[in-house]
Structure 1
């Protein structure tokens, strides 16, 4: 037997109970916007100029553009299309760029905990170090938003083997760390059931643009093609489609121009789909499909 995470069993999407999203819709769509902050002089985070020693002003400044400019342009874009955002927030942004977070709060967007900074990863931390990271990020959001976050996405998409247990222990309802499915999936943890909400590992500007050198038009084409095919497939099974963008990547002007095509295309199908946040998707699914008995606490 190969080693297993023991979080969930295999399940074919063709063998599951049928359900619908609100209004009888079959495809739920959400856009995750990553708002991140990085320590100056650190080697962690996406490298625009890999191999150069630190401090590296060029690399830090590339990512900082999203907080100063790109994030604001994307807010304007989503305002124009009357679409919600799921904001994956490094809580260091509350101190670094509070005006940007305030603007997202005023829109009513969902705030998902994305750790303290993408300059650190949980994998490799001790159990107590990771518990403290989750507690600090959770408390920062509770303090500023008036309630704790329901969802979590690990910095750098790099959770540890303990993350899901610690999230359930801290009261989280769902995670975006497992891009395994086009429907939510219940996971086992030592703290009880935790829902995995579909998260895009392909329709995501980090792998497409930064890692694979994809162009702005190609990223927009990918997002549109993925939507069209999932809308077709959703006639047979209800599905959830996520798109992930970063303020310093799609927030660049030439990429915003192309990404506007994506939102225009979604707009044209507004009557057929449910525009939602990741948290709304989690809540609706959990209300229809409670965790099965097999999501009893996992062994420590």
Structure 2
């Protein structure tokens, strides 16, 4: 019986080598806009319904379409104002349905990473080959439309399987070598990047993507008011900024253009961004840049630390 996912080792937060970010930054800060495509009538999945309403789910579809019609431009203008390049968690069907959005993001040198093809088609129930085909399709689509070799992955609608990370690592290597497929956002288990096991033994990491800071979780699940969400973002930053004086931390705000970009929610989000970016020792960056920097400067020492902690733990357990 498995007692944990087996994807990473336990690694005590207070016993790690120090992380140093570029220019002595305390916090690596990135914003991950989820730019998604939802189908009004997707193929049925026996494990999860796309919509809680019977067909046609006009309300649910309409607000998500609002995100791509209105909300995206509104959020993009705000991120431009604060010098933030988005790292797009992309439903790659958007490349065909709304190529104009892809063009606007390319012009700003935003990162594109894979969030599957449609956010209404889930990994649940797929064979390993079917999931691999979906992942490869999404990586190839990003390259064809943007020229970027996709570095990161977030499973569509968070429908992660026990093979997802292995398949993404292998698909990236098969298509583009070590230039693609080397970080995941699917684990939600840390405030710093951490090494992840893959069956291919590829150098692969998890970078923090916070469900607690996710606007959909805040507004739909926890039913927060905008001002409370904005304060929560600032409180989260304050703690990570404080701890980052000792060893660099990562803060991510995952957004959705049909959530945070509604008119009554924008002021709270803008105030939070203004607060974070007013601090000088913050590295405003992208998911890929965080992953690349960590792999270059901290990955090997992290593995050594993990191995050392494991040896100490085994020694302490012996009678």
Q: CA deviation at 1:290?
A: 2.7
* Aligned pairs for 1:110-121 within 5 A: 110-121=111-122
Q: CA deviation at 1:124?
A: 2.2
The whole-number CA distance in structure 2 between the counterparts of 1:169 and 1:130 is 12
The whole-number CA distance in structure 2 between the counterparts of 1:72 and 1:118 is 20
Aligned alpha-carbon RMSD (Å): 1.7
Q: 1:200 aligns with which of 193, 206, 210?
A: 210
Q: 1:80 to 1:268 in 2, by over 3 A?
A: same
The whole-number CA distance in structure 1 between the counterparts of 2:50 and 2:69 is 18
2:37 maps to: 37
Q: Deviations over 1:269-298 (max 9, x none)?
A: 1x1211110111101111112353789xxx
Q: 2:232 aligns with which of 222, 227, 234?
A: 222
The whole-number CA distance in structure 1 between the counterparts of 2:33 and 2:166 is 25
1:24 maps to: 24
The whole-number CA distance in structure 2 between the counterparts of 1:146 and 1:2 is 40
Q: CA deviation at 1:3?
A: 2.8
Contact 1:27–1:234 (Cα < 8 Å) also in 2: yes
1:156 maps to: 157
Alignment pair present for 1:137 and 2:146? no
The whole-number CA distance in structure 2 between the counterparts of 1:216 and 1:124 is 36
Q: 1:275 aligns with which of 276, 284, 290?
A: 284
Indicate the structure (1 or 2) with the bigger Cα radius of gyration: 2
- DSSP 3-state at the match of 2:18: coil
- DSSP 3-state at the match of 1:259: helix
Q: Deviations over 1:255-282 (max 9, x none)?
A: 112211011112211x121111011110
Of 251-260 and 240-249, deviating more is 251-260
Q: CA deviation at 1:235?
A: 1.5
Contact 1:45–1:118 (Cα < 8 Å) also in 2: no
Runs of 4+ in 1 over 3 A off after TM superposition: 42-47
Number of corresponding residues:
291
2:317 maps to: none
Q: Which runs of 5+ in 2 are unaligned?
A: 173-180, 308-319
The whole-number CA distance in structure 1 between the counterparts of 2:299 and 2:212 is 28
Contact 2:50–2:120 (Cα < 8 Å) also in 1: no
TM-score by length of 2: 0.87
- DSSP 3-state at the match of 1:170: helix
Alignment pair present for 1:188 and 2:197? yes
TM-score by length of 1: 0.93
Contact 1:183–1:198 (Cα < 8 Å) also in 2: yes
Q: 1:215 to 1:103 in 2, by over 3 A?
A: same
1:245 maps to: 255
Contact 1:205–1:246 (Cα < 8 Å) also in 2: yes
- DSSP 3-state at the match of 2:299: coil
The whole-number CA distance in structure 2 between the counterparts of 1:123 and 1:236 is 41
Q: 1:46 to 1:74 in 2, by over 3 A?
A: farther
Q: CA deviation at 1:55?
A: 1.3
The whole-number CA distance in structure 1 between the counterparts of 2:277 and 2:192 is 22
Q: Deviations over 1:8-45 (max 9, x none)?
A: 11011110001210001121110110000011124868
The whole-number CA distance in structure 1 between the counterparts of 2:218 and 2:79 is 21
The whole-number CA distance in structure 1 between the counterparts of 2:275 and 2:224 is 20
